Amino acid sequence: MSIRKIAKMTNLSIATVSNVLNGTRPTSESSRQKVMEAAEQIGYRPNLAARMLRTQKSNTIAYIIPTDEHDRNANFFYMDVLLGIHQKLRETGYSVLVANYSAANEGERSLSALEVFKKQWVDGVIFVPSSRNRAQLDALREMKVPFVLADRQVDGDDYSSVTSDNEQGTYDAVQLLGSCGRRRIGLIGGGVQNSSGYERCRGYTRAIEALGQDTGTDLMVLVSEFSTDRGKSATRTLLERGVDGILVADNALMVGVVEELQHRQVRIPDDVGIVGYDDFDWMKFTSPPLTTVCQQAHRMGYAAAQMMMDQLAGQTENRRVKLETSLILRASHGTPEDFGG
């Protein structure tokens, strides 16, 4: 029997090995590590169906993200979050099941249709809401499954979440452009329906006010579709309004911004300084390399998974974690000298 073999390999009791493999009782980290390494060496695979019947647990957490046919690039960020979730769950003997739902047309209704809930395959959910509307949160509660929100929040404070400080990240980016002599700074981003878009708009407005610049909305171009084409059209709009700096709050939009500026022979950063959001490898290789706001995606996933484990262990207090962002300084924002300052 494999459990007996692992017990012999690790000099641990059969009960301890069983507790580690089945997640029935807490064990020390050193014991867990020994058991998992031995199990991997002999290629042990637990009988999941038998374990679920015995423990009434699946040892599986669902990670559920919204999808939109116009916003496929968001998946890059969510996959970075997934890596953090996977790392933490692996440390605790859990696995992760990734599922998605439609972000359009009453997302809470498509949420309830997920097979992952119908068949009760999971012990908990790490969930990214599509909007600030509480309907999705209420739907999760009706399913009586523990959950943690990641990346975005909904209205109210009766839940646990791990998010980025989007308002401060945007504020810092606009302040950076202002420090380089930019006097008409535009924003290209999403709407305020979800919390991250709402907070980025607030950060932009607060930074513009602090710089003493015009706080009207004519330099804010908010789009519902995150695509290269939308980035191009938004850039044309802002150029017509005389911008000399642009904060681009989405990486797919950023591709369109760069293409449009280059097509019009607008020099970056000499004529227009730009700052992006989220840091991806390709941003290092553009000409010039792109300055951007970096979120801690991996840490977000890890912290959300830790919150979930705490809930499953009996933690009932709602907790909010807001992770700091940082500016990755490259060349696209420019300097005062670039702009004649």
Is residue 329 domain-resident? no
Q: What is the pTM assigned to this prediction?
A: 0.81
**Same domain assignment for residues 227 and 184:** yes
Residue 34: the pLDDT is: 86
- Residue 77 lies inside a defined structural domain of this protein: yes
Whether residues 221 and 289 fall in one domain = yes
Number of other CB atoms surrounding residue 14 within 10 Å: 13
What is the residue range of 172's domain? 166-295
Q: What residues does 247 pair with on adjacent strands?
A: 187, 275
Residue 334 belongs to a domain: no
Considering only 25-39, 54-68, 241-255, 322-336, which range has the smallest mean pLDDT? 54-68
- Domain boundary (280, 295, 310) is at 295
119 and 158 belong to one structural domain: yes
Residues 87 and 155 in one domain: yes
- Domain match, 85 and 14 both: no
Least confident of 17-21, 68-72, 148-152, 318-322: 68-72
Work out how many domains the chain is built from and give that number.
Answer: 3
Residue 335: pLDDT band with limits 50, 70, 90: confident
Reduced to 3 states (helix: H, G, I; strand: E, B; else coil), residue 321 is strand
Q: Would residue 257 count as lying in a domain?
A: yes
Kind and range of the H or E run holding 196? helix 195-210
Buried b (16+ CB within 10 A) or exposed e, 281-318: eebeebebebbbbbbbbbbbbbbbbbbbbbbbeeeeee
Count CB neighbours of 234 within 10 A: 24
Nearest in space to 174 (alpha carbons), one of 190, 153, 152, 189: 189
The whole-number pLDDT of residue 119 equals 61
Q: The CATH number of the domain where 68 resides is what?
A: 3.40.50.2300
Domain shared by 138 and 153, yes or no: yes
